A and B are shown apart, each in its own frame.
Chain A
Amino acid sequence: MTMLTILGMAIVTMVPRFIPAFIMDRLALKPWVNKWLNAIPFAALGALIFPGIMSVIEEAPWVGIIGGLVAAAIALLNVNVIFSVIGAILTVFLLTM
């Protein structure tokens, strides 16, 4: 039964992923549609970050926020994303000690 559930999950995850592969080239894209599609990554990143980041430590929302600010500060230095990740993990680790 568990494997069946996993297969069901796989199908409902896969289908929305691949449908655009079949439909996107049939649409003649107007400039505004192009602008919209180009903006999606940034809108998605925003929605993925907040408010989810406040639930990193369920009982202390500010810990996630501070970790995120540290990640942003490091990213401003134009270094690899990895350093933002490590910096944020360390921050949360220290704040929850």
Chain B
Amino acid sequence: MKEEVVMETEQSIGSAFKQGSLAGMPIFLGYMPIAIAYGVLASQSGLTIFETTMMSVLVFAGAAQFMAANMMAQGALFLQIVVATFVLNFRHFIMSMSFMNQLKNYSLPWKFGLSLGLTDETFAVSALHKKETNKENSMFFYLALILTAYFSWIVGSFAGALLGEIIPSQLSDSMGIALYAMFIGLLTPSVKKEWRIGVVAVISMLLNFIFSEFVGLDTGWAIVLATVVGSLMAIPMMKEDDAS
């Protein structure tokens, strides 16, 4: 793809915000069932509705919250849960380096604020909307995208904690595919445009498989290593302006 000359297109805050919310809609819909499932699990693990919801407000990281709820149910200790959370979420550090490079023209308070809303999904969708940074007020695009996802995550968790076991398990099992389907739905159009991207993704899939199944690393470290090694191997393959 051709990189555009960096010249800001005019855009009002309201319009940036509206576009960002629209871009966040798939995450909104993808998060809702997962968040409800988390809420159900957390309340079954003995967390109160307040605790269940506050974990979503303060942590905002799906996989880690599922894991923590499970660990709490098994009576794990404070330190075990916190260390496991750190390991599982460390991938966000790598993603944030990429995201902050994308936002390099923003002021520090904006970069700081937006970095706090980084999840696998908000990162992936933002990375696929790189060209937004050429527009005026584009920070409101990313802010709205993140807030849309955040809102869905919190509301869904609260609803799940309230509903408890009303949702049939076959339906909630089927919902487990939602985020994977979103990742695939985000990746496929880029691969269609540039096959090298597909090679990069497949390499890190295989690396993750090897690291987690054969080397026996924790899921968290396996994903971090696969992402780092996979993207490093992409350097000689990618053209400078790929991935926009």
Contact = CB atoms under 8 A, between A and B. Distances in A.
Q: Majority SS of interface residues in chain A?
A: helix
Interface residues of A, number: 71
B208 A51 contact: yes
Interface size class of B (residues with CB under 8 A): 35 or more
A96 B243 contact: no
Majority secondary structure, B binding face: helix
A4 B58 CA distance: 12
B56 to A, nearest CB: 10
Contacts of B170: 93, 96-97
A3 to B, nearest CB: 6
Q: Which of the listed residues A67, A81, A93 has the most CB atoms from chain B within 10 Å of its own CB?
A: A81
B89 A3 contact: no
Interface of B: 25-26, 29-30, 33, 47-48, 51, 54-55, 58-61, 64, 68, 72, 78, 81-83, 85-86, 89-101, 104, 108, 111-112, 114-116, 118, 120, 123-124, 127-128, 170-171, 173-178, 180-190, 192, 197, 200-209, 212-213, 219, 222-223, 226-228, 230-232, 234-235, 238, 240, 242-244
5 contacts: A2-B47, A47-B223, A67-B177, A75-B187, A84-B185
Given A48-B180, A51-B212, A56-B173, 17 more contacts: A6-B59, A9-B85, A13-B86, A20-B97, A43-B204, A45-B187, A46-B201, A46-B205, A52-B180, A52-B219, A57-B173, A67-B181, A72-B184, A81-B30, A89-B177, A90-B174, A96-B170
